[in-house]
Structure 1
Amino acid sequence: MKINKLSIVIPAYNEGKTIHLILNKIKAVELIDDIAKEVIIVNDCSKDDTEEAVARYREQNPELEIMYFKHDVNQGKGAALHTGIAKATGDYLIIQDADLEYDPEEYNDLLRPICKGFADVVYGSRFMGANPHRILFFWHTIGNRWLTFASNMFSNMNLTDMETCYKLFDRKLIQSIHLTEKRFGFEPEVTIKLSRVPNLRLYEVGISYYGRTYDDGKKIGWKDGVRAIYCILKYGLFKAK
């Protein structure tokens, strides 16, 4: 399958210290089949210099196509993704966090099942394959695995990592799905709603994970886990739209 452009959606909140580093990594990646890159940054009302850092980067690196949007009020990661998804124009779309936990060098690993005509959606799994992983929080890992298990019960899929950041979508498909969750509930909502798309071909590939600690700026907490459980029940058991 021929892909002309990949949209890379980056939700950003207080990532002024690292966003130029992830943009450097994105710029350096040479995508297979000469696929062009479109970067979409959505600043979710950061309180640091994220906006200034993006402006400097755009001025110094005009060769990288970057679209920039800003929320006037902090709404959450899911809301930033809604904005970025709506603005995307690429054939396919991938989500990229603004920190350095995920490596853009692995975009091609996710693109291959689509370019070969096997997949419509590809998830990058932190829990499969021999890729490097930083050793961090035991209970956080158990929580991720349990949420994936619960999501699989309602979606009837056998995913290993529903909570992964790296999700690669057919752009028209993801724009056609009505999404409402404004925080980290985006992950179970989009997964369960994708499971209801007729004849959807969803693949997983192993990816690396260079996790952050909370001192490094990690933002997800136990309240987001509770919300994820609620979303799994809301969209899985009660089939909310």
Structure 2
Amino acid sequence: MIQISTLSIIIPVYNEARTVHQILDLLRRLELVNGIGKEIILVNDCSTDASAATIRAYAERYPEMNLRLLEHAVNQGKGAALHTGIREATGDYVIIQDADLEYDPEEYNLLLRPVLKGFADVVFGSRFMGGQPHRILFFWHSIGNKFLTFLSNMVTDLNLTDMETCYKLFRRDIIQNLKLVEQRFGFEPEVTAKVARVPGVRIYEVGISYYGRTYAEGKKIGWRDGFRAIYCIGRYGLLRG
């Protein structure tokens, strides 16, 4: 059994004032297996709404959570926010969490299971493995996600079912030693390609729930990001950029 003292939770935030307090409520109530502690790092990517004020008010209300709020002076993109949070993480393992309500933090324990058993260094949470609730939305988005995963698998020689998933759990030294450059949603194919090349890395995948949002509810990713993902798969997978 592997011992983990702290899990660093990295949350990129851009105009999520409406939901960020709800995800923090879930994290506050969350009990990790084996008494693992939580380090919660929020990176405000120059939001134009009340996201930063909402987070500060929450931190004052619940000082025991020891929330860390990092700020970007200009909007740089989700990937850039993740770079900032990853660089500042101090936990044994690092997990990515969106500030919306599409993913359930209760399922961190599912991702931690193969790590604690000593099998995994990196764990992806798959929305397509089955066995967990999945909101029915956007046929072409699901086809696009599976197509991008297929292309990524071709160049990485992995057999993932969901490369584009938010929930990715990394051993901290592995993720901090990767040279990551993508500023927006290209983070997903880039980090997948680069982590696949880490000598001896053990990558696992577990099924997770997905409570997707519509664009009216705040979903941000679009078709341009899909084309960028294809470019990133080629650049970081085939060309090893």
Name the TM-score, length of structure 2 as normaliser.
Answer: 0.99
The count of corresponding residues between Structure 1 and Structure 2 is 240
CA offsets 1:96-146 (integer angstroms, 9 cap, x no match): 000000000100000010011000000000000210000000000000000
Match of 2:64 in 1: 63
Whole-angstrom CA distance in 2 between matches of 1:205 and 1:63: 31
Whole-angstrom CA distance in 2 between matches of 1:219 and 1:39: 23
1:221 aligns with 2:222: yes
Match of 1:8 in 2: 9
Q: Which amino acid aligns with 1:78?
A: G
Q: Which amino acid aligns with 1:59?
A: E
Aligned-pair Cα RMSD in Å: 0.5
Percent identical among aligned pairs is 66
Whole-angstrom CA distance in 2 between matches of 1:181 and 1:212: 24
CA offsets 1:155-207 (integer angstroms, 9 cap, x no match): 00000000000000001110000000000000000000011111110000000
Shift >4 Å, 4+ stretches: none
CA offsets 1:15-57 (integer angstroms, 9 cap, x no match): 0010000001011111011000000000000000001100110
Match of 2:89 in 1: 88
CA offsets 1:38-81 (integer angstroms, 9 cap, x no match): 00000000000001100110011111121110101100000000
Structure 1 alignment gaps of length 5 or more: none
Q: Which amino acid aligns with 1:47?
A: T
Match of 1:38 in 2: 39
For the residue of structure 1 that corresponds to 2:65, the secondary structure is: coil
Whole-angstrom CA distance in 2 between matches of 1:189 and 1:221: 18
Whole-angstrom CA distance in 2 between matches of 1:236 and 1:59: 44
Mapping of residues 71-220 of structure 1, within 5 Å: 71-220=72-221
Q: Which amino acid aligns with 2:124?
A: Y
Whole-angstrom CA distance in 2 between matches of 1:170 and 1:211: 27
Whole-angstrom CA distance in 2 between matches of 1:65 and 1:142: 40
Whole-angstrom CA distance in 1 between matches of 2:60 and 2:42: 15
Whole-angstrom CA distance in 2 between matches of 1:149 and 1:107: 25
Whole-angstrom CA distance in 1 between matches of 2:160 and 2:41: 27
Whole-angstrom CA distance in 1 between matches of 2:220 and 2:108: 24
For the residue of structure 2 that corresponds to 1:63, the secondary structure is: helix
